[in-house]
Amino acid sequence: MRAVQVLVDGFAISSLYGLAAVGFTLIFGVSGVLNLAHGGIMVVAAIVAWAAAGEYGLGTYAGALIGVAAGLITAYATYLVVVRPIQRSRAIRPEETEIFVLTGTLLWGIMIQVGMAYLFSDNPVTVRPLVAGVVNIFGVRTPTNKILIAVIAWAVIGLLWLLVNRTRTGKALLGASMNPRGITLLGYELTQLYLIAWTIYGILAGIAGVLLASFLGVGTNNTGQLTASAFSIVVLGGLGSVSGSLIAAYVVGYLETMTAYLIAPTLRPIPALILLVLVVYVRPQGLLGRR
């Protein structure tokens, strides 16, 4: 009974973690950017979806779409206002670009967090479930919404897989992540590929934000924690490896759920953190990382 509950709950939260982390790892793989404003983008999508659906009375579905659009716009802003100027700056030496992108996106994330708290409030918001009702799975009453979230998450990940592996653009993205110079020699415009990667990332982060808000509720105070969890899942799975991130998302999701159910809810994040430190010590490239 409890085992089933852990399985069901863990599956739902893990697929959300996976969805959020896949975009993060994609951006790193293609353009080498670790976006520490990640949580901020998810929070924008969640709060805008909530406001559009509730405050402005546009309904749950329209609200969710507007939320995803808001996430996409924020992702573009992150790239155009913060990341690209740093990458192109002549005053910053190439070997220091990475730390500047980290610091810059960190500051940008704080600006998003504080700005959203000012415009709305720092109370956590919960988007209304996309579907109502409960389903009985082996004696565990599960909200249909939870199942729908897992299904949407996997559908989006599946679409992403098709896009990357089965289309020309996707293959170009893959190429850019393996060898940026090689792909430019083949006549692809690197800037354009980066923009495409950020578009995909914005949509993924937006969907993850909206779904998370309808599952657990999201507040501006979660920004840092959301970034940290995506960051650790991605490092655990191996930076730049999409399938690694998905596996890591399930490891972390189930580890957290099991700790919360079987030991104590207060200890929820700790085993995952310890596992992360161990993996980073023993196998710095992560589970499926290249390098």
**Rounded CA gap, 39 and 75, in Å?**
11
- 268, β-bridge pairs: none
Distance of alpha carbon 57 from alpha carbon 269, whole angstroms: 36
Span near other proteins by CB under 8 A; candidates 19-27, 98-106, 140-148, 196-204: 98-106
- Strand, coil or helix: 134: strand
DSSP character for 125? Answer: B
- Taking CB under 8 A as the binding criterion, the range among 106-114, 143-151, 168-176, 192-200 that sits at the site for other proteins is 106-114
- CA 65 to CA 53: how far, in whole Å? 10
What lies within 8 Å, CB to CB, of 65 at 6+ separation is none
How big is the site for other proteins, counted in residues (CB under 8 A)? 41
Instruction: Give the per-residue SS3 of 210-242.
Output: HHHHHHCCECHHHHHHHHHHHHHHHHHHCCCCH
Of the candidates 7, 117, 148, 157, which one interacts with other proteins according to CB under 8 A? 117
Return the amino acid letter for 103: T
Q: Site residues for other proteins, window 65-94 (CB under 8 A)?
A: 82, 85-86, 89, 91-92
Provide the sign of the torsion angle of the four alpha carbons 135, 66, 119, 226, taken in this order.
Answer: positive
Interface residue with other proteins among 3, 4, 61, 103 (CB under 8 A) is 103
Q: Which is nearer to other proteins, 93 or 166 (CB)?
A: 93
Residue 63 or 240 with smaller CB distance to other proteins:
240
- Owner of token pair 């109370």: 123
User: Does 118 contact other proteins by CB under 8 A?
Assistant: yes
We find the least distance from the C-beta atom of residue 287 to other proteins, in angstroms, to be: 14
Residues 217-256 vs other proteins: string with x where CB under 8 A? -------x---x--xx--x---x-----------------
Per CB under 8 A, which region of 108-116, 154-162, 169-177, 203-211 contacts other proteins?
A: 108-116
- Regarding 102 and contact with other proteins (CB under 8 A), the answer is yes
Least distance from C-beta 259 to other proteins, angstroms? Answer: 12
Shortest distance in whole angstroms from residue 125 CB to other proteins = 17
H or E element at residue 142: strand 140-143
Under the binding rule (CB under 8 A), the answer on residue 95 touching other proteins is yes
Greatest Cα pair distance, the chain, in angstroms, is 62
What CA–CA distance (Å, rounded) separates 26 from 211? 20
By CB under 8 A, name the binding residues for other proteins: 34, 82, 85-86, 89, 91-92, 95-96, 98-100, 102-104, 106-108, 110-111, 114-115, 117-118, 224, 228, 231-232, 235, 239, 266-267, 269-270, 273-274, 276-277, 280-281, 284
